[in-house]
Amino acid sequence: MIYTHAYKNIENDKLRKQVVVSIVNCAEGDIVVLVKIDGGKEVKKRLSDMGFIPKAEIKILKKSKVGPLVLEVRGARIAIGRGEAAKIFVEKEDINAKV
């Protein structure tokens, strides 16, 4: 599921497009911002205990075709399985967008 929205950057008066995607759809090296976690109470609690809170900055350190994603959240390196990672929705800038 992909959500998009545009906003005006007040500093340089340009429109920028932000995209909300599951973190499994991001590339290695991307730095994104947590928007929401889709899942039950236990999943949300487990992830928030590890530092996955709204507006937290997340860097994708390692992403291969199979296996867990290695993420950096609040200075900690965390390996997350793909099933759990699919429930983490983040906001990233869409550099290919035409607004």
SS3 content of the chain, % helix, strand, coil (to 5): 15, 45, 40
Residue 15's pLDDT is what? 57
Query: Structure tokens of 77?
Result: 């390196």
CA distance 53 to 33: 10
pTM listed for this prediction:
0.77
Residue 99's pLDDT is what? 46
Stretches where the chain sits below pLDDT 50 are 4-10, 12-13, 99
Residue 47's pLDDT is what? 93
* Cβ within 8 Å of residue 72, ≥6 positions away: 58, 59, 61, 78
Residue 14's pLDDT is what? 53
Identify which of 22, 27, 19 has the alpha carbon closest to the alpha carbon of residue 82. 22
Query: Virtual CA dihedral for 58, 61, 63, 67, nearest 10 degrees?
Result: -90
pLDDT digits (tens, 9 = 90+) for 18-40: 789 999 999 999 999 999 999 89
| Domains delineated in the chain | 3-93 (2.30.30.90)
Residue 1's pLDDT is what? 52
